[in-house]
Amino acid sequence: MNPTRYRDGARAIAPIAVAAVTFGASFGVLARSVGIDALAATVMSATTFAGSAQFAVASILGTSGGIAAAILAATLLNARYAPISVSVAPLFEGGKIRRLLEAQLIVDESWAVSRRADGRFDRRLLIGAGLVLYVSWVTGTALGSIGGEALGDPADLGLDAAFPALFLALLIPQVRSRRALAAAVLGGTVALVLIPFTPAGVPIVAAAGACMIGWRRP
């Protein structure tokens, strides 16, 4: 098999890049409606680069939920990145600063497409996909917060359904073994059961615990 290139990662994520621009734009619009100006919204997309946490912050500040609640919600939503980043840790080489910067390109979608059929993660796929998503998200945010509502509601275009479809398409090749299927069923069930009872973000972190069925004694 030929070595993968960054371009392969960019190509793999292209189907979802349009949705990322549109959701970035809708974050910009929502942010401005609650008093977060274009500069602040764009800086947030460039530094946080995690959609669900940013939407949570905007909606909590918009309903005067207070800055502590906004910070807590966003941190819970992003807690999944701790286990996710551990799963791809061996890919990152070089000095600490370089690893820290490259690690910021880890988002759900870039992580998901970087997993190859053999179960290993691929650094170039992750970085290539992550860069495309980063540019899409930041550009979308700037367009939305400057340009306003002309872009329309992503929900009217059905774009919110693009994400579960993407994750399902990426999940199916992963469940070739019985244990992988068991982890998927357990993870999905844990998430479903917790959705009504916990703040958003917690169901995904708890579901990640399903991977412990692979635990062996050292």
Partner 1 sequence: MTEVWIVIGVVGAATVALKSVGPVLLGGRPLPEHLDDVVSLLAPAVLAALVVTQLVGGDREIVLDARLVGLAAAVVALLLRAPLLVVVIAAAVATAAVRALS
Stretch 1-40 residues interacting with partner 1 (CB under 8 A): 12, 14-16, 19, 35-37, 40
Give the interface segment with partner 1, choosing from 2-10, 88-96, 133-141, 143-151 (CB under 8 A).
Answer: 88-96
When binding is defined by CB under 8 A, the residue of 44, 127, 129, 143 that contacts partner 1 is 44
Indicate the residue among 139 and 154 with the shorter CB distance to partner 1: 154
Give the interface segment with partner 1, choosing from 1-9, 131-139, 140-148, 190-198 (CB under 8 A).
Answer: 190-198
- Can residue 161 be called a binding residue for partner 1 (CB under 8 A)? yes
* Cα–Cα distance for residue pair 209/162, rounded to 1 Å: 26
In the structure encoding, which two tokens stand for residue 76, read together? 């819970």
Indicate the residue among 113 and 143 with the shorter CB distance to partner 1: 113
* Cα–Cα distance for residue pair 78/60, rounded to 1 Å: 16
Locate all alpha helices (DSSP H) within the chain, ordered by sequence: 6-33, 38-47, 51-62, 67-78, 81-87, 96-103, 108-113, 123-147, 162-171, 178-194, 202-208
**DSSP string across 133-172:** HHHHHHHHHHHHHHHGGGG--TTTTTGGGHHHHHHHHHHG
- What DSSP character marks residue 196? T
To which H or E segment does residue 122 belong?
A: none
- Can residue 88 be called a binding residue for partner 1 (CB under 8 A)? yes
When binding is defined by CB under 8 A, the residue of 78, 136, 141, 145 that contacts partner 1 is 78
- Can residue 85 be called a binding residue for partner 1 (CB under 8 A)? yes
Q: Looking only at residues 107 through 126 of this chain, which bind partner 1 when binding is defined by CB under 8 A?
A: 108, 112, 115, 119
Kindly state the smallest distance separating residue 73's Cβ from partner 1, in Å: 9
- Can residue 215 be called a binding residue for partner 1 (CB under 8 A)? yes
- Can residue 178 be called a binding residue for partner 1 (CB under 8 A)? no
Decide: residue 217, CB within 10 A, 0-12 exposed, 13-18 middle, 19+ buried: exposed
When binding is defined by CB under 8 A, the residue of 23, 27, 49, 137 that contacts partner 1 is 49
Q: Could you tell me if 168 and 148 are in contact, meaning their C-beta atoms sit under 8 angstroms apart? A: no
Kindly state the smallest distance separating residue 3's Cβ from partner 1, in Å: 19
* Cα–Cα distance for residue pair 14/180, rounded to 1 Å: 27
* Cα–Cα distance for residue pair 8/2, rounded to 1 Å: 11
When binding is defined by CB under 8 A, the residue of 10, 21, 133, 162 that contacts partner 1 is 162
- Can residue 75 be called a binding residue for partner 1 (CB under 8 A)? yes
- Can residue 99 be called a binding residue for partner 1 (CB under 8 A)? yes
